[in-house]
Amino acid sequence: MTYRSAIPRFRAVSRIRVAVCFGVVISLLSAAAARAQAFRTASDGLNVGHFLLYPSISIEYTHDDNITFESRELPGAEILASGVMLIKPRILMDLPIAASRIRWVYSPLYRDYTNKGFPQTRRFSHFFDFEAMRSGPLLSLRVADRYVKDTVQLREADRGGEVFGLVPFTTHAPELQATLGLGARSGVSLIPRYTAVSFQGDASASFFGYRKKEVEVRLLHAISPATEIYAFYSLSDTNQDREVIIFGDVSLEARSEGVGFRRVLNQDVVTYLHAGYKTIDFKGGANSDFAGPVLDANATWQLGDATMLNLSAAHQAYQSFFVNNNYYVDTEMRLEFTRQIGHSVYWNGAISFTNNHYADPLDISVTSDTPRVQDCEPRVPDPANPGQTLCGGDGRIDVFESYQPSVGRRRRDHVVRVEIGAGWQVARAVRLFLGYNSDRRTSNIEQVFGAGIVDPFDYRVNRVVFRIEAGWM
């Protein structure tokens, strides 16, 4: 539920030509892209001493016809529609220091649903980004951090979009990049990263936190001041925190190698490619490991002074929350078109497609790592205590027994998202936005609900959003 929130700036710059690197022009929404979006500005800000400040506030009202992402196939489904009021102040601080720079942005968010039949889990959310950079003749350093505490934007915790709904979660993702110059145009970078994700509320077999440690090495070469290519190699180690143990403890180690390309214009990454080969080895869980190509990239064309086109795609393997699957492969494509009308109005439209393919056929059988209490049904009389029962068990995990119609099937999910909207710069520090977006998700998984069999991952959501923004953005 993230909506575009800024009128694009079409500067008087030379047109961005089609960027074709290694024969591919495609892209993604990654953690780096999210951080870049957080620091994007469209005004000159306020000079306060050595600081440049961007204070603003956004007030948004959305009508959502399915706030809980409920499947309409469910027998007796109660689809909850509601208005959603968002109030989001934002403060961005930028401190240039010679060849160095420090900046951070903090956005608390208040969210309230007008449908009082919906019990809210959390009204306040928090988004924080930090970045410090120091450029030197031999050594350059960059430190960054992203912290999110929310209930809706689960893509922050699950990049492939496997999970959805209103689940409270927290993510924390610091990283360091140290670059040593090897001449006028070349260098080597060491990039350690750490990611921690936790879900809050009742313990569940469907959501589990994890801690990921990663280190990446890049060999860089600058084609021009704004364009660089690189080769990379990375190692990562992930430990999952499963509060409900069903398939035992699971950890994973991943290795990636490949090439990259990045072109920067006015401090915004406008073209990006990160392509390579990745292997993931799992310890615990199912027996499947992943090995295959992966890709994250982005290409932007400025088709004149008032028109912009963006094409993006991604192909990645992610750890899975679903029953006995270790991982799924996420493939995404997104096309976005934006056009400025005069000096104060713009409109944009976008369409995206997501396909998630799972590694293993669905299997709800108990394993040697499954605790006995996870297979109690049907219960049997206790001969030593009349009137009492004991775990009987049928060899199937109780919490997953409703998936019996899909046993042996590999899960496939398909998501289509459509967006359209228009913005108006009412005054120098006031903007309006009116938009519509729609999500449609289907899968091939069937589940028993009552006397019927339905697709529990099938949902449709339509939203109309109106937003007022004021301040320096």
DSSP string, 16-38: PPP--BTTB------HHHHHHHH
Question: Do residues 248 and 369 lie in contact, with contact meaning Cβ atoms separated by under 8 Å?
Answer: yes
pLDDT of the residue at 421: 98
Please check whether residues 195 and 286 belong to one and the same domain: yes
Q: Per mean pLDDT, which of 8-22, 34-48, 386-400, 402-416 is the most reliable?
A: 402-416
Residue 21: pLDDT band (50, 70, 90) is very low
pLDDT-wise least confident of 75-79, 281-285, 375-379: 75-79
CA distance 371 to 364: 14
| DSSP H or E segment with residue 340 | strand 327-341
The percent of residues in the chain predicted with pLDDT above 90, rounded, is 55
- Domain membership flag for residue 25: no
Residue 327 has pLDDT above 70, yes or no: yes
CA distance 343 to 281: 53
* Helical H segments across 49-142, by residue range: none
Please check whether residues 317 and 256 belong to one and the same domain: yes
CA distance 246 to 82: 36
Tell me what the mean pLDDT of segment 249-264 comes to.
Answer: 92
CATH number at residue 433: 2.40.170
- The alpha carbons of the chain give a radius of gyration, in whole angstroms, of 24
- Domain membership flag for residue 11: no
Residue 236: pLDDT band (50, 70, 90) is very high
Residue 27 has pLDDT above 90, yes or no: no
Side chain identity, residue 436 = Y
Q: Which residues contact 47 (CB under 8 A, 6 or more apart)?
A: none
Residue 111 has pLDDT above 90, yes or no: yes
pLDDT of the residue at 284: 78
Q: Name the token pair of 349.
A: 């439209």
Q: Which residues contact 315 (CB under 8 A, 6 or more apart)?
A: 293, 294, 295, 329, 330, 331, 332
CA distance 335 to 314: 12
- Domain membership flag for residue 24: no
Residue 393 has pLDDT above 60, yes or no: yes
pLDDT of the residue at 365: 87
pLDDT of the residue at 17: 27
Please check whether residues 352 and 389 belong to one and the same domain: no
Residue 6: pLDDT band (50, 70, 90) is very low
pLDDT of the residue at 29: 31
pLDDT of the residue at 368: 78
Q: Per mean pLDDT, which of 95-99, 135-139, 166-170, 345-349 is the most reliable?
A: 345-349
Please check whether residues 342 and 378 belong to one and the same domain: no
pLDDT of the residue at 157: 82
Please check whether residues 239 and 266 belong to one and the same domain: yes
Q: Which residues contact 53 (CB under 8 A, 6 or more apart)?
A: 45, 46, 91, 92, 93, 94, 472
Residue 193 has pLDDT above 90, yes or no: yes
pTM comes to 0.84
Please check whether residues 251 and 293 belong to one and the same domain: yes
Tell me what the mean pLDDT of segment 209-228 comes to.
Answer: 94
- Domain membership flag for residue 13: no
- Domain membership flag for residue 19: no
The strand ranges marked E within 118-185 are: 124-134, 139-150, 169-172, 175-181
Dmax (CA) for the chain in angstroms is 86
Please check whether residues 389 and 353 belong to one and the same domain: no
Residue 34: pLDDT band (50, 70, 90) is low
Please check whether residues 370 and 305 belong to one and the same domain: no
> pLDDT by residue (tens digit) across 453-468?
888 889 999 999 999 9
Residues in the chain: 473
CB hemisphere CA count around 389 (13 angstroms): 8
> pLDDT by residue (tens digit) across 394-424?
888 888 888 999 999 999 999 999 999 999 9
Please check whether residues 53 and 86 belong to one and the same domain: yes
Tell me what the mean pLDDT of segment 199-217 comes to.
Answer: 80
Q: Name the token pair of 8.
A: 């694009």
Please check whether residues 271 and 357 belong to one and the same domain: yes
- Domain membership flag for residue 3: no
Q: What is the DSSP letter of 7?
A: P
- Domain membership flag for residue 17: no
The residue segments making up the domain with residue 376 are 364-402
- Domain membership flag for residue 2: no
Residue 450 has pLDDT above 50, yes or no: yes
Does residue 324 or residue 420 have the better pLDDT?
420
pLDDT of the residue at 434: 98
CA distance 447 to 402: 5
pLDDT of the residue at 207: 75
pLDDT of the residue at 71: 86
pLDDT of the residue at 149: 94
The mean pLDDT of the chain is: 85
The structure tokens 């007022």 sit at 468
Please check whether residues 389 and 300 belong to one and the same domain: no
Does residue 277 or residue 323 have the better pLDDT?
277
Question: Do residues 378 and 338 lie in contact, with contact meaning Cβ atoms separated by under 8 Å?
Answer: no
Is residue 424 classed exposed, middle or buried when 0-12, 13-18 and 19+ CB atoms within 10 A define those classes?
Answer: middle
> How many domains does the structure of the chain reveal?
2
Please check whether residues 319 and 372 belong to one and the same domain: no
pLDDT of the residue at 16: 26
